[in-house]
């Protein structure tokens, strides 16, 4: 179901069909660009209908204006669902999950690297304010390179005359991104994504929650078998902290838990719970499917 | 008790974010976003 949702939203956000050589600009320029999508999706992509929230955020700050609307937008999405959109809507998350399926050496990301994205978020806020440069878009964003740059340059070859240091830097980072995504679980989301960093701050208080049954007296108590971590696309042990800032609410842990210890406060997501687990005495908010 | 505290934090933050959205709409942030989105972002494609 999640894969269908990811593909659906990837197409929904990136299906502008009007690319034709007669246009001066090879991208959608209609009024839908007023709308920010809630995930990382470059607005210079020839197929994009909407605007990138982190790009708009930085450009607004760069202009010396406080981006009230975008801060409120991030806040409301985070309050409702935490990082849910990272798992169910983000095309970049889908791409990384597909890249990780390529057979290769697999590496576990060290725990401290999870905090890098908060450094990136800090620079994403401070550099546009003090140096008037969109730090994340200019130096890092692999979405801009992969979704926009390659295609814009192919369609407008005269842009090649303007390439320089930043172009090389961004393509080098794109290579690092691809290599990282093949070898590490959601490498970019875990270590660098500033949007994920923002939403992650709300995991503790968001409406959508994950619960883990830790009461040993209950028949569905967590045994810490680590099956959830082995299947987790973000490589977190949900039983240690059900509101972990990197939990993207993919609900995979609910599906794979052999005891039915993990559940969501939204009954729909508990339908995937293992039937053998749900046949016992399931307590609390768990609604076996 | 923890739940009450969470509900309070949730309520306060919700109000703050809704107010921010309203302020943003009044300041016409939407038009600004549209302007940024309509034109090719040279920084995004590595040309600047």
Residues A144-185: tens digit of each pLDDT: 898 888 888 888 888 888 888 888 999 999 999 999 999 999
Average pLDDT over residues A106-122: 95
Indicate if the pLDDT at residue A281 is higher than 50: no
Indicate if the pLDDT at residue A282 is higher than 60: no
Range picked from A52-56, A214-218, A266-270 for highest mean pLDDT: A52-56
Average pLDDT over residues A196-217: 93
Average pLDDT over residues B3-26: 93
ipTM summary value? 0.93
Average pLDDT over residues A20-31: 72
Q: Does A80 touch chain B (CB under 8 A)?
A: no
pLDDT of residue A284: 36
Count how many pairs of residues, chain A against chain B, have C-beta atoms within 8 Å.
144
pLDDT of residue B11: 93
Inspect the interface and report whether the beta carbons of B13 and A205 lie closer than 8 Å: yes
Separation CA A239–CA A197 (nearest Å) = 21
Comparing alpha-carbon positions, the chain A residue that sits nearest to B5 is: A205
Comparing alpha-carbon positions, the chain B residue that sits nearest to A73 is: B21
Inspect the interface and report whether the beta carbons of B44 and A31 lie closer than 8 Å: no
Separation CA A245–CA B10 (nearest Å) = 17
pLDDT of residue A239: 93
Confidence band (pLDDT; 50, 70, 90) for A285?
A: very low
pLDDT of residue A248: 95
Q: Which residues, numbered 19 to 58 in chain A, qualify as contacts with chain B under a Cβ-Cβ cut-off of 8 Å?
A: 25, 27, 29, 31, 33-34, 36, 42-44, 50-52, 55-56
Whether A144 and A48 have beta carbons less than 8 Å apart is answered as: no
Q: Does A155 touch chain B (CB under 8 A)?
A: no
Q: CB count, 10 Å around CB of A169?
A: 15
Separation CA A77–CA A38 (nearest Å) = 8
Confidence band (pLDDT; 50, 70, 90) for A288?
A: very low
Separation CA A279–CA A274 (nearest Å) = 9
Q: Smallest Cβ distance to B40: which of A44, A166, A167?
A: A44
Rg (CA), chain B: 18
Q: CB count, 10 Å around CB of A235?
A: 17
pLDDT of residue A88: 96
Burial of B1 (0-12, 13-18, 19+ CB in 10 A): exposed
B1/chain A closest Cα distance in angstroms: 14
Average pLDDT over residues B29-44: 88
Q: A115-124: per-residue pLDDT in tens? A: 999 999 999 9
Q: Does B1 touch chain A (CB under 8 A)?
A: no
Q: Does B12 touch chain A (CB under 8 A)?
A: no
pTM for the full model?
A: 0.90
Percent of chain A with pLDDT over 70: 92
Inspect the interface and report whether the beta carbons of A149 and B45 lie closer than 8 Å: yes
DSSP state of A24: S
Indicate if the pLDDT at residue A272 is higher than 80: no
């Amino acid at each position: 179901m999640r894969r269908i949702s990811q593909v659906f939203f990837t197409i929904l956000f990136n299906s502008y069909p009007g690319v034709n050589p007669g246009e001066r600009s090879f991208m959608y320029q209609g009024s839908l660009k007023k709308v920010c999508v809630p995930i990382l999706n470059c607005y210079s992509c020839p197929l994009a209908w909407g605007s990138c929230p982190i790009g708009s955020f930085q450009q607004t700050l760069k202009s010396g204006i406080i981006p009230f609307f975008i801060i409120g937008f991030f806040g409301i999405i985070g309050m409702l669902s935490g990082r849910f959109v990272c798992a169910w809507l983000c095309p970049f998350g889908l791409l990384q999950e597909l890249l990780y399926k390529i057979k290769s050496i697999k590496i576990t990301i060290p725990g401290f690297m999870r905090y890098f994205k908060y450094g990136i978020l800090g620079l994403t806020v401070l550099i546009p304010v003090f140096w008037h440069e969109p730090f994340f878009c200019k130096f890092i964003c692999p979405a801009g390179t992969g979704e926009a740059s390659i295609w814009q340059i192919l369609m407008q070859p005269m842009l090649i005359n303007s390439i320089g240091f930043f172009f090389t830097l961004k393509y080098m980072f794109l290579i690092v991104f691809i290599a990282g995504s093949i070898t590490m679980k959601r490498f970019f989301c875990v270590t660098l994504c500033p949007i994920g960093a923002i939403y992650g701050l709300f995991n503790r208080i968001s409406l959508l929650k994950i619960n883990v049954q830790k009461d040993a007296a209950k028949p569905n108590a967590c045994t810490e078998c680590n099956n959830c971590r082995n299947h987790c696309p973000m490589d977190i042990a949900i039983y240690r902290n059900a509101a972990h800032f990197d939990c993207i609410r993919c609900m995979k842990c609910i599906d794979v838990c052999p005891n039915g210890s993990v559940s969501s406060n939204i009954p729909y997501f508990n339908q995937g719970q293992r039937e053998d687990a749900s046949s016992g005495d399931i307590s609390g908010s768990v609604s076996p499917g | 008790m923890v739940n009450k505290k969470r509900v309070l934090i949730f309520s306060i933050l919700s109000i703050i974010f809704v107010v921010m959205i309203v302020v943003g709409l009044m300041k016409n942030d939407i038009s600004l976003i549209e302007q940024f989105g309509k034109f090719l972002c040279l920084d995004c494609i590595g040309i600047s």
